[in-house]
Amino acid sequence: MTTNGVAPLLLMTPGPTRVPDRVLRAGARPMIHHRTREFSAELATVIELLKPVFGTGSAVLPVHTTGRGALEAAICNFFSAGDEIIVCCNGKFGELWASLAESYGLTAHRICTDWKKRVDVIEVGRALEAHPAARAVALTYSDTSTGVFNDVATVTRTVRMVRPDMLVMVDGVSSIGGMPFSFDTWGVDFAATASQKCLMSSPGLSFAAVSERAWSAASRAKLPRNYWDFAAIRAEIGKECPETPGTPPVDIVLQVAEALRLMHEEGLDRVFQRHAQMAERARRGAEELGLTQQCPDLGAYCSTLTAIAAPAGVAPKDLRNGMRIRGVLTAGGLGKYKDTAFRIGHMGDIRIEDVDRTLQVLAETLAELRVAR
């Protein structure tokens, strides 16, 4: 129950997602000071338990910001004004990479701009030839605007074959924690996620993995950075009792530590499997209701959300409203799909029963709207 006695909506959104009670309680204790052993122990737990989530043996940096801030920080840390980067723009968040780069005076070469298709490695290969001065390729693992699954492993391999020195930067904000990610094995240079999605905690904290190649780029990069400085964060978490530069959102650190304990208790493989099953159920359930995917030809779909086209003559806002009245909150379409689609998030603490309830409510709402027309 919420504080006003009303049952909370079932959050079937791609963030913020439902925060489990155990996680809520972990953050709801009397404040602890961030320069204490007690806090350091929790931060150390977060850093340690995040390593397998990112698939890295190195420390993952806590960055006090939302997902977008962590991506912006990556631009500031690794580049100088005038640098060129290649950006895979097959969704709103691929486009976000390009616009962040441009706001800092970089030139972004946009490729794979068709939102209906996953990133095409052949196009990546062509761009590498066409832009020999480019220093990085940026892409999303899952783009939350379409539900695409981009094959980061293959893209990274393609880049490495041609340009061993080039950075591969991945926005994993809506996927890391819900889908397997192998930062070290794939050879990725930067990847970020945020607390409010697969990590089932409150919004406001992000995490970034950085490769040796990226640290070396950071040492040469000239863009100004202070709050965003990854090296300063690395120095603080490298202390015997890890700390952060400045005051972190203590309660969210405590929440994420508990959320990660929960994920490891379940077992990461099981967590990923649960997400894959939920995605399968959501896609099939929508089809059984006569609905089509927002982008039916993506080639590969992520496990964390399903984007569905509203049926002809039904406004997505009416559909979402009907579902909300029945207790289930979904997300609207993004960008070019704003008026034609809606999105069901199934990540973090969400279970298959929640997907079933959502499909049930979707069926009831469709029946009502079709009858009403």
Ligand X SMILES: Cc1ncc(COP(=O)(O)O)c(C=O)c1O
Binding region for ligand X (CB under 6 A): 14-15, 66-68, 93, 140, 144, 171, 173-174, 194
Nearer to ligand X, 144 or 293 (CB): 144
Three-state secondary structure of 51-110:
HHHHCCCCCCEEECCCHHHHHHHHHHHHCCCCCEEEEECCCHHHHHHHHHHHHCCCEEEE
Task: Report the residue number whose CB is nearest to ligand X.
Answer: 67
d(CA 339, CA 283) in angstroms, rounded, equals: 20
Nearer to ligand X, 59 or 305 (CB): 305
d(CA 141, CA 191) in angstroms, rounded, equals: 9
Q: Which of 114, 190, 118, 178 is nearest to 154 (CA)?
A: 118
| Shortest separation between residue 75's beta carbon and ligand X, angstroms | 13
| Shortest separation between residue 191's beta carbon and ligand X, angstroms | 11
The torsion defined by the Cα of 95, 101, 107 and 111, in degrees rounded to 10, comes to -20
Q: How many helices (H) and strands (E) does the chain have?
A: 13, 14
**Amino acid occupying residue 61:** L
SS3 136: strand
**Amino acid occupying residue 109:** H
Give the single-character DSSP code of 261. H
Q: For the chain, give the number of residues.
A: 373
Nearer to ligand X, 167 or 173 (CB): 173
| Shortest separation between residue 70's beta carbon and ligand X, angstroms | 8
| Shortest separation between residue 367's beta carbon and ligand X, angstroms | 31
| Shortest separation between residue 148's beta carbon and ligand X, angstroms | 10
| Shortest separation between residue 222's beta carbon and ligand X, angstroms | 25
Nearer to ligand X, 140 or 294 (CB): 140
| Shortest separation between residue 90's beta carbon and ligand X, angstroms | 12
First-to-last C-alpha distance (Å) of the chain: 35
Residues 6+ apart with CB under 8 A from 274: 266, 351, 352
Asked if residue 16 has a cis previous peptide bond (ω within 30° of 0), the answer is yes
d(CA 136, CA 49) in angstroms, rounded, equals: 28
Nearer to ligand X, 98 or 173 (CB): 173
Nearer to ligand X, 68 or 110 (CB): 68
| Shortest separation between residue 174's beta carbon and ligand X, angstroms | 4
